[in-house]
Amino acid sequence: MRDIFDDIFSNQPLDPVEKARSSLRPKLRDKFFTQASVGEAGEGGYPVLLDGKTVRTPGRRILAAPTHQLAEAIAAEWQALEQFIDPLKMPLTRLANSIIDGVSGGEAGVAAEVQNYLGTDLVFYRATRPDGLVAKQSAHWDPLLVFARETLGARFVLAADIMHVTQPDHAIAAATKAIPGEAWRLGALHVVTTLTGSALIALALASDAITVDAAWAAAHVDEDWNMDFWGRDELAMQRRALRFTEMQAAAKVLRALH
């Protein structure tokens, strides 16, 4: 069972944006089990069982979640499969793999990647025209600055268009304190950050200061504005829908561990 699991998931990119960009679908394997369930808590958390047997991530670690609720949600993805095992229909499983194999034990490096976004966060760079776009950015992004100021104690400065502005050290330091150190919350936060291009959106979502739908809308203000004028590309929308499933999986982890 380990070899089958590795074969299915080992070539799945850990970066959700890279997964969404890839147009290559893996060769699907037949469903090889009858019942997915959750085992008793152990050192790695609550293991996901397939026909009573533990399975392992591509990194050879036990697929387990820190709470029974999350483990049940992962098991439900497996149970919902019909004839084939399709990783694209299993965002929580893919996220669990990336956290267990790619975050656990390397939390400092992942946290540093999130922190880097605070210096050039999406919401700092504001359009100066047209007026409609300026208004939409303000409507979606100004509440995030209020959140940063009032909840995180971080006062950031804005930039006009793409002109770089250096953020105050004290603001970055204050916001950095809100980056979780625990692997699962940190891994989910990192996914949201990379998907949205904004650590502030991710921190607001992790703090329940913004809903996942509002976070997604805030991340796509510019893109939606352009699509209103130039139309929607079907392939781009399919990739965006895939990214949103990654976002929803990360939000589910953040809610479960809040």
DSSP 172-208: HHHHHTTS--SHHHHHHHHHHHHHHT-HHHHHHHHTT
Name the residue type at position 49.
L
**pLDDT band at 145; cut points 50, 70, 90:** very high
Report the pLDDT value the prediction gives residue 244, as an integer from 0 to 100.
97
- Prediction pTM value: 0.89
CB 128 within 8 Å of CB 134: yes
DSSP, collapsed to helix, strand or coil, labels residue 256 as helix
All domains of the chain in start order, with CATH = 2-89 (3.30.2180.10), 107-256 (1.10.3580.10)
When pLDDT is averaged across residues 88-102 and rounded to a whole number, the result is 96
pLDDT in tens, 172-185: 999 999 999 999 99
How much of the chain exceeds pLDDT 70, in percent? Answer: 90
β-strands 46-50, 53-54: how paired? antiparallel
| Residue linked to tokens 């004028």 | 229
pLDDT at 23 over 50: no
Report the pLDDT value the prediction gives residue 110, as an integer from 0 to 100.
98
The count of C-alpha atoms lying within 13 angstroms of the C-alpha of 81, restricted to the half-sphere facing its C-beta, is 25
When pLDDT is averaged across residues 147-155 and rounded to a whole number, the result is 98
**pLDDT band at 28; cut points 50, 70, 90:** confident
When pLDDT is averaged across residues 159-174 and rounded to a whole number, the result is 93
Report the pLDDT value the prediction gives residue 162, as an integer from 0 to 100.
80
When pLDDT is averaged across residues 38-56 and rounded to a whole number, the result is 95
Q: pLDDT: is 63 or 28 the higher one?
A: 63
pLDDT at 14 over 80: no
pLDDT in tens, 181-230: 999 999 999 999 999 999 999 999 999 999 999 999 999 999 999 988 88
pLDDT at 134 over 90: yes
How confident is the prediction for the chain on average, in pLDDT? 91
| Residue 152, C-beta contacts closer than 8 angstroms, at least 6 positions apart | 174, 175, 177, 178, 203
Residue 95: name the closest of 210, 212, 180, 190 by CA: 190
Residue 183: name the closest of 76, 110, 74, 93 by CA: 110
